[in-house]
Structure 1
Amino acid sequence: MADIFIYGTLMHQPLLRVVLGAGFDVVEQVAARLPGWRVEAVPGEVYPMVRADAEAEAHGLLLRGLTDEALARADFYEGLDNYGYLRKPVVVQTEDGPAEATVYVPLSQDGVSAGDWSLAAWAEKWGALSALAAEEVMWWMGRATTVEVGRRYGVICTRAQARLNSREEAPTTLRRRAREGDVRVNALRRPYAGFFAVEELELSHIRFDGGDGGPIQRAAFVSADAATVLPYDPKRDRVMLVEQMRPGPLARGDAQPWVLEPIAGRVDPGESPEECAHREAMEEAGLVLERLIPTGGYYPSPGAKTEYLYGFIGLADLHDNAAGLGGVAGEGEDIRAHIVSFDAAMTLLESGEINVGTTVASLLHLAARRDGLRGQS
């Protein structure tokens, strides 16, 4: 066994419970101080680090009685062979006097400080998301190295953000209201995990006749949530459509893989769907939206995909020079924007040239709201 002094995100109890697993219930947590070290924020990151400072003192928790399994889990989460950390022997101070421990510290102490780091401020914005991300991280223990998991951590966090979003209560006036235990996942496999992930599930669930429907095998294509926004100028009665080559139609064998869509993008960790819509409008089309009108959220293909879309109409000034080329070059985006009249867009929809579900849904929502929006302009 080895005792660990923790000073950062692991002090968040829901996260620590996920990381330690069953070992969380037996570990003793003691308030402690580490003289000669300072906790500080890392530039561009949400987690802190400790830096040697003879005049400072780091406050944290001493974890006593860690099982070998819990210690191995903590080492895996901290990524000793990925993030350049080591577990260094130290002496911490407790109410009962000095105690020997180890602490995770970066191999390099170089870099500029980003100032003080606050656990309370971090937990308010990132705590729930980090605990959900840790569930996937820890699932990979014994299945992948921390180097491999570290490369995926960004997209793991986007999937965690989607799970966090899914906690929002949704109406159940006609459909069954799920209760705890109505669906049971007995086994989970992830044969692929990259920008997207594939999850194979063995599950059972309550049937409408009251029986137990299972076990059954299902698979889901797991991705981040996304926001779509159809820019509309009510004064000129114009919309903006963006065009780009998409791998979905290409892989299907479609002879025309360039498609017409609303502006869209994934909801990044810590980002709201509204913030995503504004950001993507600027990235894809250099467009500043005046106001967002929500058109609802939905699963485009719930039989196989976890993707959940937040739809918006974005009021904007679509002048003659508003269309052009856009996209983030570093992400391989090549986007062309088109400004067309509302009637022309509906003609494209009726002809089948618009064949993307998000564009169809966005235009139909706009058609239902168009008169009211034009009356306000």
Structure 2
Amino acid sequence: MTDIHLFGTLRDDALRARVLGRDIAGKPAVLQGVATVERPGADDPALVAGTGAEVPTLCLRALDADLRRRIEFYAGGLGCRAVELPQPGGPVLIFAPDAPDAAAPHDAEGQGPWDLAVWQAAWAPICRRAAEEAMGYLGRIDGATLAGRMPTIRVRASSWVRAQTAPAPRHLRRGYDRDRVAVHDRRQPYAHYFAVEEADLQHPKFNGGASDTLTRAAFVLGDAVTVLPYDPARDRVLLVEQFRYGPHVRGDVLPWSLEPVAGRIDPGEMPQEAIRRECDEEAGLTLGHLEPVASYYPSPGAVTEYLYSYVGLCDLPDEAGSDAGGKDDEGEDILSHVIGFDRLMELIALGEIDNAPLLLTAFWLAPRRRELAALA
């Protein structure tokens, strides 16, 4: 039987346990004549040929069919496939995006050596959480389909880690934490761009005891940012207009929405970084100072989405935002509008603006415009 050697992220004990479904240590070993390098847009590394190089691995032997199936499925989600690698003691099986080719020396820029400890410090919590969701699809989809879903899985995983490590403060609330909620059964009937999670659960009641067993469902979305670009010198704001499927499904006869600039926070990204990236993508704007407005759940009864809203100071001359924007590969078609702040408040009074983050941000900004002008 050909031995399977795990390298890269699967050397992390906690991640490997999630993928295999149980703790399996493996036997430490090395692959000779190869090195690990960073793979653009991926957490797991690529292998390249290197004279005298070695890669530490964990060797798994006599794997049953279920364990082999689990590894193949997860590897497929990472864009990897089974590769037989020649070694001095005989060929071994690895899962990699491509077989290392000694005839094609590695000279790609920006692909430095990959280091497990560096990855663990920066990415391990997100990848472990993503692996939990990914392995839940085993037997329901194939590895290629999982690979298409992995970007949004990682966005949801990043939001989970953010919620665990940076919760809102507790001053007035009673103080119950999530460990007091007893989940008896959890189901996921749908998952793609967002997921739907349904569970049967009980939670503690304020007057003592526990609730009856309740069935609850939620749309699972990643965290997002919104920013209202504001020019304090000209007292102007920039709004974006785009088609929104939610209003369309509701039956709205005008499903094009006026909004602040908004977008998902990519894994490993800070909210402020996401804001600057989205402003460049949607409106071609470079923002200066960012002023936080609020962070909040827009609809906590049924949606996991958590928003970080900001005002971003910038220059908005007459020609600003005159072109349509958005990313073609994401199907975005976005029109920008530069208007005076008084006109913004008129549109709110008329009811044309019905986007919650924009309403919240406009009302926050109204009494602070002079203060922001001084700051600018």
Q: What TM-score does the superposition give when structure 1 sets the normalisation length? A: 0.89
- Establish whether residue 357 from structure 1 lines up as the match of residue 356 from structure 2: yes
Deviations 1:199-221 (A, max 9, x none): 12222111112221131111111
Say whether the 8 Å CA contact 1:79–1:85 is kept in structure 2.
Answer: yes
Q: Which residue of 2 aligns with 1:16?
A: 16
Give the deviation of 1:229 after TM superposition. 0.2
Structure 1 Cα separation of the partners of residues 272 and 3 of structure 2: 44
Give the deviation of 1:275 after TM superposition. 0.5
Q: Which amino acid aligns with 1:128?
A: P
- Establish whether residue 86 from structure 1 lines up as the match of residue 85 from structure 2: no
Give the deviation of 1:240 after TM superposition. 1.0
- Say which of 260, 274, 279 aligns to 1:276: 274
- Aligned to 1:287, what secondary structure does the other structure show? coil
Gaps of 5+ in 2: none
Q: 1:295 to 1:166 in 2, by over 3 A?
A: same
- Establish whether residue 348 from structure 1 lines up as the match of residue 339 from structure 2: no
Q: What TM-score does the superposition give when structure 2 sets the normalisation length? A: 0.90
Q: Which residue of 2 aligns with 1:228?
A: 226
Structure 1 Cα separation of the partners of residues 144 and 265 of structure 2: 25
- Aligned to 1:79, what secondary structure does the other structure show? helix
Q: Which amino acid aligns with 2:124?
A: G
Q: Which residue of 2 aligns with 1:333?
A: 332
Q: Which residue of 1 aligns with 2:184?
A: 186
Say whether the 8 Å CA contact 2:36–2:46 is kept in structure 1.
Answer: yes
Structure 2 Cα separation of the partners of residues 194 and 206 of structure 1: 32
Give the deviation of 1:84 after TM superposition. 4.8
Structure 2 Cα separation of the partners of residues 71 and 178 of structure 1: 42
Give the deviation of 1:101 after TM superposition. 5.8
Structure 2 Cα separation of the partners of residues 336 and 105 of structure 1: 42
Q: 1:90 to 1:67 in 2, by over 3 A?
A: farther
Say whether the 8 Å CA contact 1:2–1:71 is kept in structure 2.
Answer: no
Structure 1 Cα separation of the partners of residues 59 and 367 of structure 2: 60
Q: Which amino acid aligns with 2:82?
A: L
More off after superposition, 65-74 vs 313-322: 65-74
Deviations 1:243-270 (A, max 9, x none): 1121111111111112211000111112
Say whether the 8 Å CA contact 2:37–2:113 is kept in structure 1.
Answer: yes
Q: Which amino acid aligns with 2:13?
A: Q
Deviations 1:267-296 (A, max 9, x none): 111211111100111111110001111112
Say whether the 8 Å CA contact 2:25–2:58 is kept in structure 1.
Answer: no
More off after superposition, 119-128 vs 277-286: 119-128
Q: Which residue of 2 aligns with 1:258?
A: 256
Q: Which residue of 1 aligns with 2:137?
A: 140
Q: Which residue of 2 aligns with 1:104?
A: 95
Structure 1 Cα separation of the partners of residues 12 and 84 of structure 2: 22
- Aligned to 1:354, what secondary structure does the other structure show? coil
Give the deviation of 1:363 after TM superposition. 0.3
Give the deviation of 1:190 after TM superposition. 1.6
Say whether the 8 Å CA contact 1:2–1:66 is kept in structure 2.
Answer: no
Give the deviation of 1:64 after TM superposition. 5.9
Structure 1 Cα separation of the partners of residues 288 and 9 of structure 2: 38
Give the deviation of 1:14 after TM superposition. 2.2
- Establish whether residue 322 from structure 1 lines up as the match of residue 320 from structure 2: yes
- Establish whether residue 219 from structure 1 lines up as the match of residue 210 from structure 2: no
Count of residue correspondences? 368
- Aligned to 1:360, what secondary structure does the other structure show? helix
RMSD between superposed Cα atoms in Å: 2.5
- Aligned to 1:280, what secondary structure does the other structure show? helix
Give the deviation of 1:314 after TM superposition. 0.3
Deviations 1:175-199 (A, max 9, x none): 2323353112222222211111111
